[in-house]
Structure 1
Amino acid sequence: MLTHPTLNQLHALGLHGMAKAFVDIQASGDAASLGHAEWLALLLEREASLRHDKRLSARLRYAKLRQQACVEDIDYRTPRGLDRALFAQLAEGSWIDAHANLLICGPAGVGKSWLASALGNKACRDNRTVLYQRVPRLFSELALARGDGRHQRLLRALGRVDLLILDDWGLEPLDAAARHDLLEILEDRYGRRSTIVTSQLPVDQWHALIGDPTYADAVLDRLVHNAHRLELSGESLRRVRAQQAARTA
Structure 2
Amino acid sequence: MLTHPTLDILHALGLHGCAKGFKDLEANPAVASLSHAEWLALVLEHEVTLRRQKRFEARAGRAKLRQSACVEDVDYRAVRGLDRSLFLKLATCQWIRDHRHLILCGPTGLGKSWLACALGHKACREDFSVLYHRVPRLFAALDLARGDGRYAKLLASLARIDLLILDDWGPQVMSADHRRDLMEIVEDRYGRGSLLITSQVPVDRWHEIIGDPTLADAILDRIVHAAYRIDLDGESMRKRPDEHELP
Shorter-chain-normalised TM-score: which range?
over 0.9
For residues 11 and 93 of structure 2, the distance between their equivalents in structure 1, rounded to whole angstroms, comes to 36
Pairing 1:50-199 to 2, within 5 Å after superposition: 50-199=50-199
- Pairwise CA RMSD of aligned residues? 1.5
For residues 179 and 91 of structure 1, the distance between their equivalents in structure 2, rounded to whole angstroms, comes to 30
For residues 47 and 148 of structure 1, the distance between their equivalents in structure 2, rounded to whole angstroms, comes to 44
Pairing 1:20-59 to 2, within 5 Å after superposition: 20-30=20-30, 32-59=32-59
TM-score (norm 1): 0.93
Query: Contact (CA 8 Å) 1:136, 1:171: kept in 2 or not?
Result: no
More deviation, 106-115/217-226: 217-226
* Shift of residue 160, structure 1, vs aligned partner: 1.5
TM-score (norm 2): 0.94
Aligned residue type for 1:203: V
Query: Contact (CA 8 Å) 1:80, 1:233: kept in 2 or not?
Result: yes
* Identical pairs, percent: 63
1:121-148 residue CA offsets vs partner (Å, 9 max, x unmatched) = 1111111111111000000011011122
For residues 106 and 73 of structure 1, the distance between their equivalents in structure 2, rounded to whole angstroms, comes to 20
For residues 190 and 135 of structure 1, the distance between their equivalents in structure 2, rounded to whole angstroms, comes to 19
More deviation, 103-112/90-99: 90-99
Aligned to 1:10: 10
For residues 14 and 149 of structure 1, the distance between their equivalents in structure 2, rounded to whole angstroms, comes to 39
Which SS does the other structure have where 1:92 is aligned? Answer: coil
Residue segments in structure 1 that go unaligned for 5+ positions in a row: none
For residues 207 and 164 of structure 2, the distance between their equivalents in structure 1, rounded to whole angstroms, comes to 21
1:180-221 residue CA offsets vs partner (Å, 9 max, x unmatched) = 111000000011111111000001111001111221111111
For residues 25 and 203 of structure 2, the distance between their equivalents in structure 1, rounded to whole angstroms, comes to 58
For residues 26 and 213 of structure 1, the distance between their equivalents in structure 2, rounded to whole angstroms, comes to 69
* Shift of residue 9, structure 1, vs aligned partner: 0.9
Aligned residue type for 1:110: L
Which SS does the other structure have where 1:43 is aligned? Answer: helix
Query: Contact (CA 8 Å) 1:60, 1:124: kept in 2 or not?
Result: yes
Query: Contact (CA 8 Å) 2:103, 2:198: kept in 1 or not?
Result: yes
For residues 159 and 93 of structure 1, the distance between their equivalents in structure 2, rounded to whole angstroms, comes to 19
More deviation, 29-38/167-176: 29-38
* Shift of residue 107, structure 1, vs aligned partner: 0.1
Query: Contact (CA 8 Å) 2:171, 2:209: kept in 1 or not?
Result: no
Which SS does the other structure have where 2:91 is aligned? Answer: helix
